[in-house]
Amino acid sequence: MMALIRAGLVGWSGALLITVLLLAATSSTTTTAGVRRMLQPTDIQKALLAKYLSNQELESHLKDYVKRCSKISRLVKFGKSGQGADLVALHVSSQPDKQSAVPKPQFKYVGNIHGDEPSGRQLLLVLAERLCAGYPSEPSIKKLVDSVELYLIPTLNPDGYAAHRRENAAGTDLNRNFPDPVKLRGKDLTQPVGPEQPETRAIMAFTLEHRFVASLALHEGALVANYPYDGYPDGDLSVKGSKHASPDDAAFMHLARLYAKLHTTMSRSAEFKEGITNGAQWYPLYGGMQDWNYLAAGCMEVTLELNDNKWPAPPRLSEMWVENQAALLQWPLATLAGVHGVVKGEGPEGKPLPLAATVLVDGIAHNTSTGPQYGDYYRILAPGDYTLRVLAHGYKEATAKVSVPADGSGVTKDFLLAPLVPFPVKAKADQGSKVTVEVVRPGVSKHPGGDEPQEEWVLVHGGPTHGTHSSGGSSGSGTSGFVKILAIIAVQVLAVGAFMAWRRLSSQWGYSGLPVSTIHGSPARQGKSAWPPV
């Protein structure tokens, strides 16, 4: 049967459906069920690029999507806009409704941060359709969905979109509304500090909860891939044309270049060399989402400007999809293109257990933490040679040298850390606020060639009976009598006598400048402590 197909968008029974007009020579009527069976994914994609959906149509379409593509998708509501619209992420995964049996990195796309930059809404919807149509038959799409947990957020600013303006309903630019590292120097950036809008607070909490490894933010107004930092250390807003590089500048430049090269035209930009720019070098801004992601959440986000003009006409959307399709589909695999693996420690009876650990890269002042369930880590790095160091409380430090290949395949490096061995000490706090601590069994021996222990003492537990204690200082109420404190020392500590070992242990408790004496032949510390007298 020959047919002429015309696609449009209408609301139908509470869901956004594609209306197809079939003019057939052999039949004058076609049932609704027949039309829906004949509808192909490409028809849906074309229809989504034919017009911008209203917020209501977007909501209906997403609900319809998770019905059609239920095996790989679910909807996640993570907050509400200032006017009460749901903020929704479309989770696409090989196992969307259950915890993955193996660790996987998490990645997010964020569109429509500015209300008058809506192309990202439609591009992410088409991307979702592409994933649904290609899974599991297309190897490249199967690899992406099987390897990475994808979260597509078509709009972060539905109120601004409805009003056809940049800001949200309260008149706030959301991309200037995040806790800023310059204004809040030295303070906790993970918590809202007051002026953050509901949309900002929602995406902050969502990002921290999911520990996203990387992210793409879709904007309009230029054609370039922008990377951190966006501002200068002095908070200057003037355009200086000078770069402010982050510790991961090489990796960010690599990520920006990757997107620009996968894009059909971005890398050939006449304005931006290679189609990329450092944010501050282009123009400085503060309170941006990109820098917050990196510094507060450890998420390496690149900001994409995908069209010179804002709010491009619908015919331009199809062209933009062709330009960005490969990049949107392939870029998330960069989460695995550096170094990744799991960190475990020897547990009871030698059974390895996932560890809460910190992964450091020599020469890069930015650390990565492991995930709580698997002990997994993902460290995006530019191609090259690196030395990794892994630290976990109560375990020996581990190091490894790795070479990150240029082909994007990445390196898997797992770590199994050996535990340190604890030994007891005693402490006594009297009514006069003096504290006396005695090493019960230091477990050290003389080294024939020196007097320094080879490893640091580390406090892992302990404190007064009716108080608290941490490795950074002491607090609580002391009581007379002996109280048990647990400290640890490495088995291989071969040096020094008890005095040097005790000096290192005491430094972990913050007793700076207190006089030292020897009690019962063992080193001890006396003097006023942070614990108040009873």
Evaluate if residue 528 carries a pLDDT over 90.
no
Across the chain, mean pLDDT equals 80
438 in active site:
no
What confidence score (pLDDT) does residue 15 get? 41
CB 396 within 8 A of CB 402: no
Q: Which of 117, 129, 199, 305 is catalytic?
A: 305
- pLDDT tens for each residue of 499-520: 333 333 333 333 233 333 332 3
Contact indicator for 426, 475 with CB cutoff of 8 Å? no
Contacts of 76 (CB under 8 A, 6+ apart): 88, 89, 90, 91, 151
Whether residue 136 is preceded by a cis peptide bond, meaning omega within 30 degrees of 0, is yes
Question: Tens digits of per-residue pLDDT, 266-313?
Answer: 999 999 999 999 999 999 999 999 999 999 999 999 999 999 999 999
Residues of the chain with CATH 3.40.630.10: 49-336
For residues 17-22, give the mean pLDDT.
34
Instruction: Indicate the range of 26-35, 108-117, 167-176, 410-419 predicted with least confidence.
Output: 26-35
Top-confidence residue, 347 or 226: 226
Indicate where the chain has its CATH 2.60.40.1120 domain(s).
339-417
The pLDDT of residue 437: 58
Tokens 């929704």 belong to 88
What are the CB-based long-range contacts (under 8 Å, 24+) for 461-467?
Answer: 461/485, 461/486, 462/486, 462/487, 464/427, 464/429, 464/531, 467/531
The band of 521, judged by pLDDT with boundaries at 50, 70 and 90, is very low
pLDDT over threshold 70, residue 80: yes
The top-level CATH class assigned to 49-336 is alpha beta
Residue by residue, DSSP assigns 86-130 as EEEEEEE-SSTTS--SS---EEEEE--SSTT--HHHHHHHHHHHH
As a whole number, mean pLDDT of residues 321-331 equals: 98
pLDDT at 24 over 90: no
Q: Which DSSP category does 27 fall into? A: -
CATH of domain 339-417: 2.60.40.1120
